[in-house]
Structure 1
Amino acid sequence: MCVDPTTPPPPSRVTRRGVLAGAAVLAGGAALTGTAAGTAAAAEDPKAAARGTSSRPPRGGTLIIDGGTLLDPLTGRVTEDAVVVIEDGTVRAAGTRKATRNDVAAVRKTARVIQAEGRWVLPGLVDSHIHLSTLTDAHRALSLGATSIRSGSTAFYQDIALRELARWSPERVPRIRAAGIFVTPKLGDTILADPDLAPLARLKDGVRTPEALRRVVEVNLSRGVDVIKTRVNERAGSPTEDPLTQVYSREQLSATVAAARRGGATVLCHSYSEKGIHDAVVAGVNSIEHGVYLGEHTMREMRRRGTYFTPTLAAMASLAADPNPILAERGRRFLPIAKRAVLRAHELGVPIASGTDSSGGAVDPIGREVELMREAGLPALEAIRTATTGAARLIGLSRSAGRLARGFRGDAVLVDRDPLRDVSTLKSPSTVISYGFAVEA
């Protein structure tokens, strides 16, 4: 059996709003004001505003970060005794005390002031590969400095619900580019995430035909995802799977990419083997995730196409410490190979982004990935760029994330040491600002 390619996903009685409300419950955010369901209720009930519920998200915070040393990752410029002015969640000014004097005066009466003397001020960090399925994990990632993230998929659309929650409570949840459900041969229980996936249950070989691949992509798009996540190899984190076994061909990957592009979405691809990575790149994916055995021939193709490399070194380091001996040996073998691939990719001009691949309640600080990029041989500023300007460009936020400059979103991290001398300081920011609000640990 296959899905008729001319037939769109059947209209479901479960609406996008209903899916988001259910995902919010799974994510642990049902009680948070401003869920998709709460927003809908406000729009339909004129008395909602009186109950404290609005159909329009609140403005961002207004604050002044005063006296720190400001680093602009794009230019590498360091400004001592700098001032950052954030108004309604957006950077109004950032620079010397003299250059920002008028902007400070304009907001002083309403702004909160954070004294930053002796600390370094950087833009909020970007984790371009992380799996957030609960409000607790999302807040943990934010408190560790990841003010913007790209989801690596969730089982039941929790990332979409969290993205909506972030619009209402940015001090609790990072800004999210959601991937929805994984485009993978075996959906498992994820098939229960959406009634429109039900026809795929009868496919004996799983999600492999062009029609089936297109169906999963289209269902994701109908639920409002920003990106599509697929794979070319089996998992590294399962002792019963071989991460070098290829599960999708170049033609199958091309079908997924084509369906995503029709819906305006980019594609990230889980990959390990040299051939699998090359097939994914030629098929047109936007980024290679993990990519341990990335070869130089494929690196050159990635540079030509502008394909990003997200190596998730932190995940491999964690794997090396796993109590399962198979996984621990795999992590110890993969990590040095991946580090060499990172350095060679950087030398060849392949764009690189940081991602922790955190999941399941174990959230690594994005600063740990930057630290491992530095250990791989990248200069400190280049390592920092993988979690700021580079990652922001990959996930489509280059005009609002990765810098503290006028018009950018008011996201910042304050650290106690010079990150250009010791990038490990990014693992434990002393203060995190999200959309102009201070984040509580």
Structure 2
Amino acid sequence: MCVESTPPPPGRLTRRGVLAGAAALAGTSAVLAANAPGASAASADPATAHRPGRGGDLVVEGGTLLDPATGEVTENAVVVITGGVVRAAGRRGDVRVPAGSAVLRAHGRWVLPGLIDAHIHLNTAAEARDAVRKGATSARSGSTNFYQDIAVRELARQAPEQAPRLRAAGIFVTPDLGDTILADPDLAPLARLRDGVRSPEALRRVVEVNLARGADTVKTRVNERAGLPEQDPLAQVYDHEQLSAIVAAARRGGKGVLCHSYSEKGCHDAVTAGIRSLEHGAFVGERTLHEMRRRGTYFTPTLTAIAGLAESADPVLAERGRAYLPVLKRAVLAAHELGVPLAAGTDSSGGTVDPIGREVELMRSAGLSALDAIRTATTGAAKLLGLGSTAGRLARGFAGDVLVVDGDPLADVTVLARPVHVVRSGLPV
């Protein structure tokens, strides 16, 4: 069986219905309705609502400001945010503060841009709120089963303090879609495929449906999962040709691909197929790292997730985590020393959200300097997400996303996992 003769995904009506269902599953429609007195549930439909919420006006004063891009530290700093955007940032006395502005006092504390989680699974409005409270003011989805991340993205646009600014991946391009087949009527023809989503036509179909529903990026895999004891993370599920078909379909829609990976061969196949970022990648080898540097391919190691395996009650997963973590840390340091761009991601899922500051800690423990570790969750991750001129710094024209921490993160990065205040688009969270 193939899907080559199946017509392309239809337009507005299917998109509206699918995404309204995703919003119901994610709980975002209810949150938007509750936060907009007089608004109907229909007005919260992510397929029809396009008016983003306005950011706030706020002055953050008195803290020590860190610019991750330059490493510059400014004591007794002032950050002026108007309409959710930084209008000025610098030393007190050099920055004009608008009269009557709401003020967040940060005296004795450090002020940084909000952090970016480049690999997270946000399935509900509650998870999105948890992520932003823990410091992730921007994020990239690692896919959801029923397009919930697209609904969360709309929540972030309309109520910025409720969710991170999000790049959505939609559904996972994987051989066995499982119940995800039920997410979209345009995926139904794939249920007839005896071998799953493997042919070029089927792979292209899943990518095209994803993009038709509004995905910002495409998520696929080259290896099985590390987090399931019955799977072998070194077993390869897609070859170079199949990965190339996925990348080509995504590129036709102007999108990049992030790829779940573990084995060296799998990593190399994925990178040479043209993916935008390598996820996990515990056993990535030197030849692949050199290729990543040449191509500008990002590495998102998700150290937090691998460290979490070591704490599992399942002995197979615990041993896997203990064995993989030091290998992955060595790969992170080798990548950094070669000049491969790194991005921080927690791979949080299943209702538990890890603070993105924890990933920065693990980057630091892998051998990066404190400043370089911070960059993986600010300027580095921002470039990967296409937010290089929007997020990752507190400078004029950037988003008014702020993290206030109780200590010097250049001396102790662990403070990033315990933010005292979080501001999203000028709105205190």
* TM-score range for the pair, normalised by the shorter chain length: over 0.9
Q: Deviations over 1:7-37 (max 9, x none)?
A: 5425378522222211111112221236996
SS in 1 for 2:247: helix
Q: Identify if the C-alpha distance between structure 1 residues 422 and 37 changes in structure 2 by more than 3 Å, giving closer, same or farther.
A: same
> What does residue range 372-383 of structure 1 map to in structure 2 within 5 Å?
372-383=362-373
Number of corresponding residues = 424
Preserved CA contact (<8 Å) 2:171 2:180 = yes
Q: Which residue of 2 aligns with 1:326?
A: 316
Q: Which residue of 1 aligns with 2:4?
A: 4
Q: Which residue of 1 aligns with 2:158?
A: 168
Shift of 1:98: 2.1
Distance in 2 (alpha carbons) for counterparts of 1:27 and 1:419: 34
Q: Which residue of 1 aligns with 2:248?
A: 258
Shift of 1:175: 0.7
Distance in 2 (alpha carbons) for counterparts of 1:178 and 1:12: 19
Tell me which amino acid in the other structure corresponds to 1:38: A
Q: Which residue of 1 aligns with 2:36?
A: none
Q: Which residue of 2 aligns with 1:86?
A: 81
SS in 1 for 2:31: coil
Tell me which amino acid in the other structure corresponds to 2:269: D
Preserved CA contact (<8 Å) 1:23 1:161 = yes
Q: Which residue of 1 aligns with 2:43?
A: 39
Q: Deviations over 1:332-377 (max 9, x none)?
A: 0000000000001100000000000000011110000000000000
Q: Identify if the C-alpha distance between structure 1 residues 96 and 10 changes in structure 2 by more than 3 Å, giving closer, same or farther.
A: closer
Question: Which blocks of at least 5 consecutive residues in structure 1 are unaligned?
Answer: 45-53
User: Is 1:16 matched up with 2:15?
Assistant: yes
Q: Deviations over 1:87-142 (max 9, x none)?
A: 000000011112212xx1xx332x21000100000000000000010111111010
Q: Which residue of 1 aligns with 2:60?
A: 65
Q: Which residue of 1 aligns with 2:99?
A: 108
Preserved CA contact (<8 Å) 1:17 1:37 = no
Preserved CA contact (<8 Å) 1:20 1:36 = no
User: Is 1:244 matched up with 2:234?
Assistant: yes
Preserved CA contact (<8 Å) 1:12 1:195 = no
Preserved CA contact (<8 Å) 1:268 1:287 = yes
> What does residue range 403-414 of structure 1 map to in structure 2 within 5 Å?
403-414=393-404
Q: Identify if the C-alpha distance between structure 1 residues 151 and 395 changes in structure 2 by more than 3 Å, giving closer, same or farther.
A: same
Preserved CA contact (<8 Å) 2:66 2:74 = yes
Q: Which residue of 2 aligns with 1:150?
A: 140
Distance in 1 (alpha carbons) for counterparts of 2:102 and 2:241: 55
Tell me which amino acid in the other structure corresponds to 2:203: L
Q: Which residue of 2 aligns with 1:336?
A: 326
Distance in 2 (alpha carbons) for counterparts of 1:57 and 1:128: 22
Preserved CA contact (<8 Å) 2:402 2:424 = yes
Distance in 1 (alpha carbons) for counterparts of 2:45 and 2:282: 47
Q: Which residue of 1 aligns with 2:24?
A: 25
Q: Which residue of 2 aligns with 1:390?
A: 380
> What does residue range 214-253 of structure 1 map to in structure 2 within 5 Å?
214-253=204-243
- Of residues 339, 352, 366, the one that matches 1:349 is 339
> What does residue range 271-286 of structure 1 map to in structure 2 within 5 Å?
271-286=261-276
Q: Identify if the C-alpha distance between structure 1 residues 164 and 113 changes in structure 2 by more than 3 Å, giving closer, same or farther.
A: same
SS in 2 for 1:114: strand
- For normalisation by structure 1, the TM-score amounts to 0.93
Q: Which residue of 2 aligns with 1:315?
A: 305
Q: Deviations over 1:24-79 (max 9, x none)?
A: 111122212369963378999xxxxxxxxx86333210000001000000000000
Q: Which residue of 2 aligns with 1:197?
A: 187
Q: State the percentage of identical aligned residues.
A: 70
SS in 1 for 2:211: helix
Structure 1: which 4+ aligned runs deviate by more than 4 Å? Answer: 34-37, 40-44
Tell me which amino acid in the other structure corresponds to 2:329: K
Preserved CA contact (<8 Å) 2:28 2:125 = yes
Q: Identify if the C-alpha distance between structure 1 residues 37 and 286 changes in structure 2 by more than 3 Å, giving closer, same or farther.
A: farther
Tell me which amino acid in the other structure corresponds to 1:369: E
Q: Identify if the C-alpha distance between structure 1 residues 41 and 425 changes in structure 2 by more than 3 Å, giving closer, same or farther.
A: closer
User: Is 1:300 matched up with 2:306?
Assistant: no
Q: Which residue of 2 aligns with 1:135?
A: 125
Q: Which residue of 1 aligns with 2:427?
A: 437
Tell me which amino acid in the other structure corresponds to 2:10: P
Distance in 1 (alpha carbons) for counterparts of 2:8 and 2:314: 41
Distance in 2 (alpha carbons) for counterparts of 1:37 and 1:184: 33
Preserved CA contact (<8 Å) 2:32 2:44 = no
Q: Deviations over 1:132-169 (max 9, x none)?
A: 10111111010000000000000000000000011111
Q: Identify if the C-alpha distance between structure 1 residues 113 and 419 changes in structure 2 by more than 3 Å, giving closer, same or farther.
A: same
SS in 1 for 2:28: coil
Distance in 2 (alpha carbons) for counterparts of 1:371 and 1:239: 27
Preserved CA contact (<8 Å) 1:14 1:195 = no
Q: Identify if the C-alpha distance between structure 1 residues 37 and 218 changes in structure 2 by more than 3 Å, giving closer, same or farther.
A: farther
Q: Deviations over 1:201-255 (max 9, x none)?
A: 0111100000000000000000000000000000000011000000000000000
Q: Which residue of 2 aligns with 1:48?
A: none
